Amino acid sequence: MRIGIGYDSHRFNSRSGPLRLGGVRIPHARGLAGHSDADVLLHAVADALLGAIGAPDLGELFPPSDPRWREADSRAFVNEAVTRVRKAGWQVGNLDATVIADAPRLGPHKTAMRRTISRLLRIAPSAVSVKAKTTEGLAPGKAGIAVQAVVLLKPAISNLRQRRISLWLKQSPPEADQPSAEAVRKSRTRKNRTAR
């Protein structure tokens, strides 16, 4: 297993919105300042992936000084990070992210962000969590948006092997529940009798 953590923050700019978060266009009076499309959530996700495999970080791979990444779609950054993860022999287990923003309200967009990120990471939406928190008026407050993301990687296995495993799981009987205290007591009594 490998674990990676990503963090990013962007200020709101003076231009009007919408802003992009998790690859989703979110209506808001102000957009975020940045060289690329300023998708602060995808930047944190990409850095978590890159960190987990010990690769150079987002700023090193896609320097803001490079005009190629001007207004770039940040989904390309995540795609590059996922490709590197696969090449290194890993696949994403799950991702957990917290978006820290006093505005806009992100509740109505969480499902769309989750779905978009899960597609980028090639995992089920249930393995992606996007949580929204306000700062309760503390910094960075209304000045911008910050994101923390944590990702878990597991060794990549081929599709064929994955299919074999799921077939085997279907055939094998469900795991027994934890034995009750009563069952344990009875089995101990039985063992004791046999011992005597």
| Binding stretches for Mg ion (CB under 5 A) | 8, 43
Residues paired with 153 in a beta bridge: 2, 92
Please, is 82 exposed, middle or buried when counting C-beta atoms within 10 Å of its C-beta (0-12, 13-18, 19+)? Answer: buried
Min dist CB 55 to Mg ion, Å, is: 16
Which residue do the tokens 């878990």 mark?
152
Min dist CB 109 to Mg ion, Å, is: 19
Toward Mg ion, which CB reaches closer, 43 or 75? Answer: 43
Toward Mg ion, which CB reaches closer, 8 or 52? Answer: 8
Min dist CB 10 to Mg ion, Å, is: 6
- Dist. CA 25–CA 90, nearest whole Å: 30
- Dist. CA 37–CA 129, nearest whole Å: 22
Count of C-beta atoms within a 10 Å radius of residue 161: 10
Cα dist. 80→90, 116, 121, 196 in Å?
14, 16, 11, 67
CA angle 80, 148, 87 (to 5 degrees): 25
Beta strands in the chain (DSSP E): 2-16, 19-21, 24-26, 30-32, 90-100, 128-133, 144-155
Toward Mg ion, which CB reaches closer, 28 or 43? Answer: 43
Q: By Cβ distance, which residue is nearest to Mg ion? A: 43
Toward Mg ion, which CB reaches closer, 43 or 84? Answer: 43
Min dist CB 104 to Mg ion, Å, is: 19
Toward Mg ion, which CB reaches closer, 8 or 130? Answer: 8
The tokens for 141 are 């407050």
Toward Mg ion, which CB reaches closer, 58 or 90? Answer: 58
Min dist CB 46 to Mg ion, Å, is: 9
Min dist CB 115 to Mg ion, Å, is: 22
